[in-house]
Chains A and B, each alone.
Chain A
């Protein structure tokens, strides 16, 4: 099956710094990728839709200047958490759709801001 790779799997950063998370589709081209955030014992919350070659579409309540998304190629989308604070600590997950079919998920990134 298709593989979506997310990197890093874990990151610890100091408050006020920025962190970049990469999401790659390894064996297919993804015109659309999605970024989710998940707090402990909760469901996945959709943050934004990343569109190759155009601006991301953010869900209501998600700050686009805080969570910068870049989808520079058909196999790579990045999420940058800018000026991270402890409340940004969470599990971030990306997914990529292959054509009009199934969405495949990355393994997630555990962000801890200290």
Chain B
């Protein structure tokens, strides 16, 4: 199967600070990207998405940045809260007929009180 099955890096931040989580994607033909949050023992939860014709999209407390030149995504979380502690994954999808979502390696976010 397709995956980047690396052990998870960890980002530790102080409550109230901003968090930036980075992701490198693999396929230059991918044109839809999503960030997911996964809490222990649960399925991924949608956070925010972005299409390749955009380079920035904002949600509530979250911003996704897309740099297609270097195939890089980032997720910025403002005023990080203890409830934000989880593993975050980026996922990419190509607009072929399969619509498969391929997940990148995740990042564990730990929020210190």
Using a CB–CB cutoff of 8 Å, the interface residues on chain A facing chain B are 4, 6, 32, 34, 36-37, 39, 41-47, 49, 57, 59-62, 91, 93, 95, 97, 100, 102-108, 110
Q: Are A44 and B46 in contact (CB under 8 A)?
A: no
Q: Are A46 and B7 in contact (CB under 8 A)?
A: no
Give Cα distance in the complex from A37 to B104, angstroms: 14
Residues of B contacting A: mostly = loop
Using a CB–CB cutoff of 8 Å, the interface residues on chain B facing chain A are 1-8, 34, 36, 41-46, 49, 89, 98-106
Q: Are A46 and B43 in contact (CB under 8 A)?
A: no
Residues of A contacting B: mostly = strand
Q: Are B7 and A41 in contact (CB under 8 A)?
A: yes
Interfacial chain A residues near B41, Cβ < 8 Å: 91, 108, 110
Further pairs besides A60-B2, A62-B1: 16, Cβ < 8 Å: A6-B43, A32-B99, A42-B5, A43-B3, A43-B103, A43-B105, A44-B44, A45-B1, A49-B98, A59-B1, A93-B43, A95-B44, A105-B36, A105-B44, A108-B42, A110-B41
- Which of B6, B49, B99 is close to A43, meaning CB atoms less than 8 Å apart? B6
